[in-house]
Structures are given as C-alpha cells and as structure tokens.
Amino acid sequence: MRRVFCLAAACLLALPAFADEGGALVVVLDPGHGGAWPHDGAHGGRGLHEKVIALQVALKTKELLEAEGATVILTRDKDEDISLADRVRIANEAGADVFLSIHCNSMETREDRKVTKGVETYFLSPDPTDAEARMLAQLENGGPEAVPLPKAATPVEGILNDLALGQARNDSAAFARIVQHHMLRNTWATSRGVKQAPLLVLSSTRMPSALVEIGFISNPQEGRKLTKEKYQQHIARALADAVRDFADKVLSRRLFAQARPAAPAPPKVDAASPVAVPAGTR
C-alpha cells in the first residue's frame, strides 16, 4: 500500500515517479540470450553478437532508471545462458511492476540483410500478428521444436489464470505501444510497428511485459549503429523514458483507483418501515 501512495503522490507533484525508499517502482530488464551457441542469439557482420549488444543496452537503461529512483533487476548481468522459464521466475519473484526483454533482430538471406532494418515491439498473444511475428516467436522461443506456451491443466484453472493475468495482458499492449513510441522518438529508427506473438519469455509473467527488437544486427548500417556508445545511450534513454511514461500514464492511475476508498453503500431500507414520499408527488 505504501507504494500506491508514493507513486501516486510523485506523479501528482511531477517528480520522478519512482523516488522513495520502499515505494520505488520495480523494473526487471531482460537482456536477450547469452552463453554459448545456440543460445547466443543473432549474429551480424564483423563479429557482432545480439547477446553483447542487448546486455550493453540493458546496463545503460538500468543506470538511467536507477538515477530516477527505480529499483532495477537484470535477469543476467554477464554472458551466461539463462533459461526463459528462469527469466520469468526472476521477474515474478521480484514482484516486478514491469518486465522488458531487450533483443536485436536479424534476417537470414543476403538480400534481406541489406534492406531490412527498424524497431518493433511485441506483447504476448497466442495469435501472432503475421508470418514474420510467428517466425520471430519461434526463434526467440528456441526454434520450431520449442515448448509451446504453457496451458492450464483444467478449464477452471485456465479461467482463474485468465482472471489473474488479464489486466497485465491488457496493460502489456499499452506498454508495448509506449516503448515503440519512445524508441522512434529517440532514435529516429524505421518503425516496424507494435506486434503480438506467443513469446515464452513473456508468458506467465504477472506484470505488464513487452519484448523490444531494438534494430537489425544483420543490416550493415543499423548493425554498426547498434555497437556505437552514443546510439546505445539513445536507446537506453528511450527505454527508460518508456518505463517512466508507462508508470505515469497507466500504473499510477491503476494504483490511485486501488487506493481510493470505496463509495459508502446506500442505507438499507426496511420493508416494514414507511417510505418517505417527496413533497409534490402525492
């Protein structure tokens, strides 16, 4: 409850939305992939690795968010392979308010590598937006043979899960749109839109979650930009601003609603008691 009032009051005063000990927003940043092949993610020209760039951007984003008072947890802070289930577990056990997975995109063919670039942001859905979203989900989930999204053991369990996670799912779509907006505003990258896909790393999270593809490591020009300190700082600023914007526009309003006292119930009328009739209506 303390976080409710701290976050709400900070937003009203136009101060950093996370700045109070014990009431800080908890953010989990997930640098995609890590470790040895085949878990090291996409590769670009000149030895570029998705796992390296994702971690560099996550560390910069963490620094910016912590400077504003947020509590930030990384699913990995070095080059190691963390399972998708463990990434979700870390976020849930931390009681995170928001979860953001950071990745670099890639194309397979030589011609596609030359021309395909841009930023896209995903939220969880069993129905992918298009064929490209379906293919990306397969790659991020570990390939076509990866374990599908977990299903409830019984219909009743499925209903309870839907009720518990429904609001987080709705907020995830809003979070993805805000992330995409700030990425485009801060980097001037090409927009590939906000999409939905059955991504395992976003499944079973109990908080609003999104996965952002910050650019195509396979594109010669964009791949080089992704390695530059200044461009990474622009991305980190975009992601930090997106988290702050989402906290201000969505989370704080929901916390206000939860904190607001319920309206008093109307007085009960005894059926045996006479009911007063307003003057002029007799």
pLDDT at 254 over 90: no
Q: Give residue 201's identity as a one-letter amino acid code.
A: V
Q: Is the pLDDT of residue 9 over 50?
A: no
What is this structure's pTM? 0.78
Specify the pLDDT at position 264. Answer: 57
What per-residue confidence (pLDDT) applies to 169? 78
Residue 62 has what pLDDT?
98
18-37 average pLDDT score: 80
Provide the CA 178 distance to its chain's centre, in angstroms: 10
Q: Is the pLDDT of residue 12 over 70?
A: no
pLDDT at 2: 44
For the record, the structure tokens of 250 come out as: 């969505």
- The pLDDT > 70 percentage for the chain reads 72
> Does residue 23 carry a pLDDT above 90?
no
Tell me the pLDDT of the chain averaged across its residues: 80
CA distance 32 to 192: 19
- Alpha-carbon span 236 to 247, nearest angstrom: 17
pLDDT of residue 281 exceeding 70? no
Residue 113 has pLDDT above 80, yes or no: yes
Neighbours of 187 (CB within 10 A): 18
Q: Average pLDDT of 67-79?
A: 97
The predicted-structure confidence for 128-183, as pLDDT tens digits, reads as follows 776 777 777 777 776 544 444 455 555 545 444 554 566 777 899 999 999 999 99
Residue 215, by phi and psi: left (phi above 0), alpha (psi -120 to 50) or beta? left
Judged against a pLDDT cut of 80, whether residue 4 lies above it is answered with no
Tell me the pLDDT tens digit for each residue of 206-249. 899 999 999 999 999 999 999 999 999 999 999 999 999 999 99
How high is the pLDDT of residue 145?
Answer: 42
Q: Is 233 exposed, middle or buried (0-12, 13-18, 19+ CB in 10 A)?
A: middle
Q: What is the pLDDT of residue 197?
A: 87
Would you state the pLDDT for residue 15?
A: 38
In this predicted structure, what is the pLDDT of residue 224?
95
HEC string of the chain equals: CHHHHHHHHHHHCCCCCCCCCCCCCEEEEEECCCCCCCCCCCECHHHCEHHHHHHHHHHHHHHHHHHCCCEEEECCCCCCCCCHHHHHHHHHHCCCCEEEEEEEECCCCHHHHHHCCCEEEEEECCCCCCHHHHHHHHHHCCCCCCCCCCCCCCHHHHHHHHHHHHHHHHHHHHHHHHHHHHHHHHHCCCEEEEEEECCHHHCCCCCCEEEEEEEECCCHHHHHHHHCHHHHHHHHHHHHHHHHHHHHHHHHHHHHHHHCCCCCCCCCCCCCCCCCCCCCCC
pLDDT tens-digit readout, 176-208: 999 999 999 999 999 999 999 888 888 888 899
Domains of the chain with CATH codes: 2-259 (3.40.630.40)
pLDDT surpassing 70 at residue 80: yes
